[in-house]
Amino acid sequence: MIVTVTLNPSLDRAVEVDSLTRGEVIRAAAARIDPGGKGVNVSRALLANGVLSVAVLPTGGDEGSQLTRLLKAEGVEVLAVPISGRTRSNITLAEPDGTVTKVNEPGPELCGADLDEITAQLLTRAGDADWVVLCGSVPPGLPADAYAQLCRRLRAAGVRVAVDTSGPALREAALAGATLLKPNREELAEVVGAPLTSLGDVVEAAQRLRAWGAGAVVASLGADGAVLVDADGVVTGNCPVARPRSTVGAGDALLAGFLAAGARGAPALAEGLAWGAAAVSLPGSRMPGPTDLFRQHVTIHHQPDELLPLLPSGPLS
């Protein structure tokens, strides 16, 4: 079983448009609403592929109630912690060429008592978990080391912890000894304070996170696929998508696939890439099931060319 924690979940409203023009009235070609938030998406992807998962998250207002109903309708077990604020709603505008424009609300303000209750709920389920996954942005009101605090509690209890966040929270998670970190290219560049223009830059940045205390790093690189850096070395892989529809949740699907496949080495990276590429081919933040996966399109490199320049950012970020 894999337990996920999302401190700033959302309702994700995805709208497909022919083209996005500022100041114009635009008619939508299609629209859908899905449960949102990185950890929420990881749980949804796992459940869609038959892997047991529990989602721990704060919820508030009508939006929080709707989020819980949507998750339960998908079969996700939810440990919802009531809060006084309102769960945020995010909007995604997707164009036919794969261009995605997102508008994310900041989310409700949480306090120390909220984090204490979330921690208590988490610890009730973490004992028999294969992994605990801490994901997403830190909501207003909580310190940057909120995930790091959870990570230390869990690591002290012998639980493996994966963290997917950004900015100072990502650095704090590395310093707290997270078993696995899953940044995208932009998040990795931000945390090390340097541009990443080649595969070698990515590997060097990932090694810096490991030097800070992280056990392993899986970096998603958009059109360049993903890189795994751990104690065994460096593995890269790619999985092209012929018709991208939405990149929302693709990195979450990649992380879910990687964990579901054992979270070690090239086989796990290949599975993660298959799940992530499948998510890119689906509308909104829909998570892929077994019939959606792109395993036949995955390529893995055990001795990557670290001088290889990176393409502009794109799917699977």
164 - beta bridge partners? 135
CB-count burial class (<10 Å; 0-12, 13-18, 19+) for 21: exposed
Q: How far apart are CA 295 and CA 245, in angstroms?
A: 18
* Main-chain phi, psi angles of 103, to 5 degrees: -125, 110
Helices 185-192 & 167-175, crossing angle to 10 degrees? 70
What is residue 243's three-state secondary structure? coil
Query: If residue 217 lies in a helix (H) or strand (E), which one and from where to where?
Result: strand 216-220
Question: In the chain, which residue ranges form alpha helices assigned H by DSSP?
Answer: 38-48, 61-73, 112-126, 146-156, 167-175, 185-192, 199-212, 250-260, 265-280
Catalytic residues: 252
β-bridge pairing 180-181 and 161-164: parallel
- Show the tokens assigned to 260: 């579901």
Chain mean position to CA 209: 18
Q: Quote the longest CA-to-CA distance of the chain.
A: 55
Which residues have a Cβ under 8 Å from the Cβ of 15 and sit 6 or more positions away?
28, 30, 31, 91, 92, 93, 94
